[in-house]
């Protein structure tokens, strides 16, 4: 590179590092800021409205006011303010207006919304619900909650909503994966609360009703047992709101579980009246920030490292019965240990000397215990492989392999070989013909199927680099895919021809910067990032690239900073 370009990249790295360090909270770690969410705001408003507490009237009004201001020009709502309208979120907003009694207060917004729904999913309530159910297919995790929220607002027929076998929640968690339920592993609270409500509303047969009454106390006790101290299941606003409105509608408003859910919702509302889909991703962001700063030659602060270390679970988790050793995405009580965050924590702590070998060995044991029989790693629970958000996924598999490699001195050679051979065999088995991999937790609103092969490919390639497998055919195919996916302006979108973003350009550059033969392509990518960083001061724009549970879109303000810092630092080296 020319001297001018080198200086330009150095300035960008310093600027990004300064930005990232400035984003720490007063405790020395990173909380970030998830985007405001129309979907979360609508469900929270519905739950507070159904519970009819006079103290919540201002919260409800502020939530409705935010929704009116966030409405898209076409009359609908998307998951985030930068998302296109979709029927699921718009129907939930419609229910929130009705349940809060605000239909007559905002007639213009209501008329535009109805026009959007009429054009996209028909005029009849059942026609709209059928469309939602069809959209999610066999996965009832989100389709049924949407449907019951609409039914509570008089916008759906209870008899048209599929039942949920909530009595299955009585089984030990270790057996639930064998039952092949139509809801994912993390949705147990919804299975219980919504399943009970549907049983009452649909008035199921006598024998079945008697059997369910017999176990009613058992499942409610389990719901109480798995509720975190904060009251928020998974610290997720929609999930907690669905549980609250279902308990109230089934005659259980006075239960402690419902009261704690409502407290969580009240505490989670933002000053502008909105709610995010989750409170924060503090451990995920802190581990990623530490790793990015280390790549730039900046030693991580002790407070951040201490925060990561404290986040490790040392006991069995009550929600998923997960053994000790893993990390969740947040330190808040609703977090649940998962593969991605545990891998990120292990990578961040690698070489820092702040954790005992005992704690790291415990984490490695936890991580190895999540590997599926197909060789890949899922998000939460081994063996839950019926529905998409429980199956093995390439980017998590690559992340887990990298974490294991970073601490290989604590494992036997045979153990590493066994896990890595199975892991890379899985990656090869799910690689697309064009060399790409499709991730689970990140997507693009701009591709036809909303997938993000650039992100999945870039993240998967890092495992091949760490294990010295850059001469393999899968790696060569992946490299060729990324090289040919670059846009003319130097940036990357989710696929070839898709509008570039800072996030996707950064992860692609980070993967390609490993090989000197990619220098020209990487130089164009680095130039694109520098241009975006220089023109966007003082704040980088973030894009809805993240996918939350049940494919809900979000953006996170720290993603473009963290990933650009790591990418430019790798390219500079």
- DSSP sequence for 171-211: S-HHHHGGGT-SS-GGGHHHHHHHHHHHHHHHT--HHHHHH
Task: Classify strands 552-554 and 546-548 as parallel, antiparallel or unpaired.
Answer: antiparallel
Contact 196, 240 (CB under 8 A): no
Residues 287 and 187 in one domain: no
pLDDT in tens, 131-185: 888 887 767 778 899 999 999 999 999 998 988 878 777 666 655 555 555 444 5
523: in domain:
yes
pLDDT in tens, 382-403: 875 565 667 899 999 999 999 9
**Residue 42 and residue 383: Cα distance in Å, rounded?**
34
**Residue 283 and residue 297: Cα distance in Å, rounded?**
21
275: in domain:
no
Residues 215 and 293 in one domain: no
Give the largest Cα separation in the chain, rounded. Answer: 81
440: in domain:
yes
Range with lowest mean pLDDT among 192-206, 236-250, 300-314 = 192-206
Residues 54 and 83 in one domain: yes
Final residue before a domain boundary, out of 268, 294, 315: 268
Residues 218 and 292 in one domain: no
Q: Residues 175, 178, 181, CA angle at the centre, nearest 5°?
A: 105
273: in domain:
no
pLDDT in tens, 336-368: 999 999 999 999 999 776 667 889 999 999 999
Final residue before a domain boundary, out of 247, 268, 289: 268
Residues 29 and 98 in one domain: no
Residues 321 and 259 in one domain: no
Residues 91 and 226 in one domain: yes
Residues 318 and 207 in one domain: no
Residues 324 and 436 in one domain: yes
Among 282, 283, 285, 279, smallest CA distance to 230 is for 279
pLDDT at 225 over 50: yes
Q: Say which CATH number the domain at 557 has.
A: 1.50.10.20
Residues 52 and 93 in one domain: yes
Query: Which residues does residue 552 pair with via DSSP β-bridges, in sequence order?
Result: 548
Across 14-77, where does the E strand assignment appear? none
**Residue 401 and residue 460: Cα distance in Å, rounded?**
10
274: in domain:
no
User: How much is the pLDDT for 175?
Assistant: 55
Residues 424 and 443 in one domain: yes
205: in domain:
yes
Domain range for residue 134?
38-268
243: in domain:
yes
**260-299 burial, b if ≥16 CB within 10 A, otherwise e?**
bbbebbeebbeeebbbbbbbbbbbbbbbbbbbbbbbbebe
Residues 24 and 70 in one domain: no
Domain count, the chain: 2
247: in domain:
yes
What are the angstrom distances between the C-alpha of 20 and each of 145, 289, 351, 461? 37, 7, 21, 25
Final residue before a domain boundary, out of 210, 243, 268: 268
Among 431, 440, 432, smallest CA distance to 393 is for 440
For residues 110-126, give the mean pLDDT.
90
């Amino acid at each position: 590179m020319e001297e001018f370009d080198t200086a330009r990249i150095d300035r960008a790295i310093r600027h990004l590092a300064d930005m990232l360090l400035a984003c720490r909270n007063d405790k020395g770690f990173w909380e970030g800021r998830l985007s405001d969410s129309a979907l979360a705001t609508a469900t929270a408003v519905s739950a507070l409205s159904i519970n009819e507490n006079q103290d919540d009237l201002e919260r409800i009004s502020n939530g409705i006011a935010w929704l009116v201001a966030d409405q898209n020009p076409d009359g609908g709502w998307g998951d985030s303010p930068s998302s296109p309208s979709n029927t699921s979120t718009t129907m939930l907003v419609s229910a929130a207006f009705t349940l809060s009694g605000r239909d007559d207060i905002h007639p213009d917004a209501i008329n535009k919304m109805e026009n959007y729904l009429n054009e996209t999913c028909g005029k009849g309530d059942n026609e709209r619900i059928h469309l939602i159910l069809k959209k999610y297919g066999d996965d009832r995790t989100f389709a049924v909650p949407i449907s019951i929220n609409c039914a509570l607002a008089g916008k759906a027929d209870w008899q048209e909503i599929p039942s949920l076998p909530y009595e299955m929640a009585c089984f030990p968690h270790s057996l639930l994966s064998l039952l092949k339920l139509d809801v994912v592993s993390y949705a147990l609270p919804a299975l219980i609360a919504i399943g009970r409500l549907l049983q009452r509303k649909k008035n199921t047969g006598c024998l079945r009703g008697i059997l369910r009454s017999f176990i009613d106390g058992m499942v409610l006790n389990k719901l109480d047992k798995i509720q975190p101290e904060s009251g928020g299941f998974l610290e997720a606003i929609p999930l907690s709101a669905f549980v609250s409105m279902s308990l109230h509608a089934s005659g259980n408003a006075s239960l402690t579980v419902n009261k704690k859910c409502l407290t969580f919702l009240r505490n989670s509302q933002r000053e502008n009246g909105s709610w995010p889909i989750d409170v924060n991703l503090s451990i995920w962001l802190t581990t990623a920030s530490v790793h990015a700063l280390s790549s730039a030659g900046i030693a991580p602060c002790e407070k951040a490292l201490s925060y990561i270390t404290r986040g490790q679970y040392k006991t069995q988790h009550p929600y998923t019965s997960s053994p000790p050793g893993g990390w969740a995405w947040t330190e808040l009580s609703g977090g649940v240990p998962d593969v991605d965050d545990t891998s990120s924590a292990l990578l961040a702590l690698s070489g820092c000397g702040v954790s005992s070998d005992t704690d790291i060995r415990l984490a490695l044991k936890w991580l190895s215990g999540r590997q599926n029989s197909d060789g890949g790693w899922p998000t939460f629970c081994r063996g839950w492989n019926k529905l998409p958000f429980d199956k093995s996924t390439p980017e998590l598999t690559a992340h887990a392999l990298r974490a294991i490699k970073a601490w290989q001195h604590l494992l036997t050679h045979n153990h590493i070989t066994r896990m890595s051979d199975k892991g890379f065999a899985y990656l090869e088995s799910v690689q697309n013909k064009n060399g790409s991999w499709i991730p689970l937790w990140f997507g693009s609103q701009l591709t036809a199927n909303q997938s993000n092969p650039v992100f999945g490919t870039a993240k998967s390639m890092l495992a091949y680099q760490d294990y010295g497998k850059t001469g393999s055919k899968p790696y060569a195919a992946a490299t060729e895919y990324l090289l040919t996916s670059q846009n003319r302006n130097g940036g990357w979108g989710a696929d070839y021809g898709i509008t570039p973003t800072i996030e996707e350009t950064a992860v692609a550059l980070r993967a390609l910067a490993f090989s000197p033969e990619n220098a020209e392509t990487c130089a164009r990518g680095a130039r694109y990032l520098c241009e975006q960083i220089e023109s966007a001061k003082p704040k980088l724009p973030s894009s809805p690239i993240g996918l939350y549970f049940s494919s809900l879109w979000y953006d996170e303000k720290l993603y473009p900073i963290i990933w650009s810092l790591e990418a430019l630092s790798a390219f500079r080296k």
